[in-house]
Amino acid sequence: MGEPTVINSRIAATRGEPSIRPIRLGIDVPFVLVVMFLLGFGILMVYSASWQPSILAEKPISYFFLNQLRWVFVGVGVAVFLMYVDYRRWKKWLIPMVLIMIALLLAVALVGEMRFGARRTLFNGSIQPSELAKLVVIIYLAFWLHSKQEVLNNIHFGLIPMVTILSLTAALIMLQPDLSATLTILVLGGMMFFLAGVDWRQIILILLVVGGISALFLLVSDTGRFRFEQYLVALQDPANAHDHIKRVIESIVRGGVFGVGIGKGSSKFALPVSHTDSIFAVIIEETGLIGAGAVVIAFMILMWRGMSIARKALDIQGRLLAAGLTFWITFEAILNMGVMVSVFPITGNALPLISAGGSNLTMTMAAIGLILSVGRVANHKKNEEEGRAFSAVVNLRRGNGRRGVSRAHRSSNTRR
């Protein structure tokens, strides 16, 4: 029904009549709607889960809620700005972005604030550079892999340089230490390399490298080793599991199918960081399997639409960028939700678009804006091509405004 409207409006314009153009948003509407749902639901759950952490931090009861609300507005602004900037323009800013990322990671290692036994933040917890590192690594690799397409299957020009880039970033993050962010960086790099289309031999090498580094981190990191041991204990007998896992199991049991009601949960009082890493357990208790299922479905839709945008991108760098960012968001969501139901060891990943935290929310919204930019540029190009094709077909008038198709007429000599 939409195309006849376009044709009629163009024909009306050729007759001197006012044209009525259909509204073309140029964005993936389901993708935007699911992001809005997750943001709104996240604000509601942060409000429910954050009042006790606010009191423990000696702040007003609504401190974390209002802080999250401010970051939502900032994140939406960042997403809108990046959506209207052609993603290809960021190529010239790659080196400055990487240098800023490295500088911030070094600053954390040297003068970062000690919280929960690790140095991960700057400026009184306002900035967490490891979140920026995830975004910058994806952007950098999208453009770098595009420029190295012809030599990617050469291990000396493809795999080794990429491992060097990722190892430097991962080593700086590991100094904090932040095991979950380090492994996320390595997994994202491997996935980007896979999406770029390298052969299976290098994919196997990447899996072996990531697996080896992960095993090494578990051996040298007391926190990582403890979490993995507790994970194995929970698999054998949940009754002997760590208190964190026990509280999560209690949340699932109390929540049932429909939940106890938003704001009425009690497990959040015993859960560590209930408004950030553990917020999915609060969701399960207060909204039940229905609410938790809705969140899972929302992230599935987000991944579907994000990959659809990537598939329709104009170029390889656009496809890599949109697919990599979509994978990052959904990978973080899968890790967080999987940890809460004891599928994975405790990692410390936030639940994107829902957990409280300015750095994670802002970087996630920046990723949303870049994905929409890829889709908007492709859609704009498609509209231009359709417009040119239409003009070539329906322009039936000459330059003097007369019809370009001859009409049958009677000759004067036919009159009798």
Q: Which carries the bigger pLDDT value, residue 392 or residue 396?
A: 392
**φ, ψ at 274 (rounded to 5°):** -65, -25
Decide if 389 is inside a domain: no
- What's the rounded Cα separation, in Å, for the pair 204 and 194? 10
Q: What is the mean pLDDT of the segment spanning 358-378?
A: 95
pLDDT above 80 (res 350): yes
* % pLDDT > 70, the chain: 80
227-256 pLDDT, tens digit each:
777 777 777 777 777 777 888 888 888 999
Per-residue burial over 323-349, b = 16 or more CB atoms within 10 Å of its CB, e = otherwise? bbbbbbbbbbbbbbbebbebebbbbbb
Task: Note down the domain range covering 249.
Answer: 26-380
Structure tokens at 179: 């095991």
Assign 156 a pLDDT band (cuts: 50, 70, 90).
low
- What's the rounded Cα separation, in Å, for the pair 85 and 98? 20
pLDDT above 70 (res 408): no
Q: In this structure, how many other beta carbons lie within 10 angstroms of the beta carbon of residue 398? A: 10
pLDDT above 80 (res 73): yes
Decide if 198 is inside a domain: yes
**What is the DSSP annotation of 179-243?**
HHHHHHHHHHHHHHHHHTT--HHHHHHHHHHHHHHHHHHHHH-HHHHHHHHHHHHHHH-GGGS-H
Decide if 61 is inside a domain: yes
pLDDT above 60 (res 88): yes
Find, among 302, 361, 289, the residue nearest to 330 by Cα: 302
105-136 pLDDT, tens digit each:
888 888 777 666 667 777 776 788 889 999 99
C-alpha distances (whole Å) from 350 to each of 7, 28, 135, 330 are: 49, 25, 15, 11
- What's the rounded Cα separation, in Å, for the pair 69 and 361? 11
Q: What is the mean pLDDT of the segment spanning 171-198?
A: 81
Which pTM does this prediction carry?
Answer: 0.83
374-386 pLDDT, tens digit each:
999 998 887 777 6
Decide if 157 is inside a domain: yes
Decide if 313 is inside a domain: yes
pLDDT above 60 (res 160): yes
pLDDT above 60 (res 415): no
Find, among 294, 306, 300, the residue nearest to 368 by Cα: 306
- What's the rounded Cα separation, in Å, for the pair 106 and 113? 13
- What's the rounded Cα separation, in Å, for the pair 54 and 60? 6
**Number of domains observed in the structure of the chain:** 1
The distance from CA 28 to its chain's CA centroid, rounded to whole angstroms, is: 15
Assign 211 a pLDDT band (cuts: 50, 70, 90).
confident
pLDDT at position 234:
73
pLDDT at position 393:
54
DSSP structure class, residue 17: P
C-alpha distances (whole Å) from 252 to each of 168, 231, 259 are: 40, 17, 9
Decide if 31 is inside a domain: yes
Q: Which carries the bigger pLDDT value, residue 223 or residue 59?
A: 59
Decide if 415 is inside a domain: no
Find, among 120, 206, 197, 90, the residue nearest to 159 by Cα: 206
The amino acid at residue 284 is I
pLDDT at position 24:
58
Decide if 18 is inside a domain: no
Find, among 339, 117, 341, the residue nearest to 228 by Cα: 339
Please write down the HEC assignment for all residues of 44-99.
HHHHHHCHHHHHHCCCCCCHHHHHHHHHHHHHHHHHHHHHCCCHHHHHHHHHHHHH
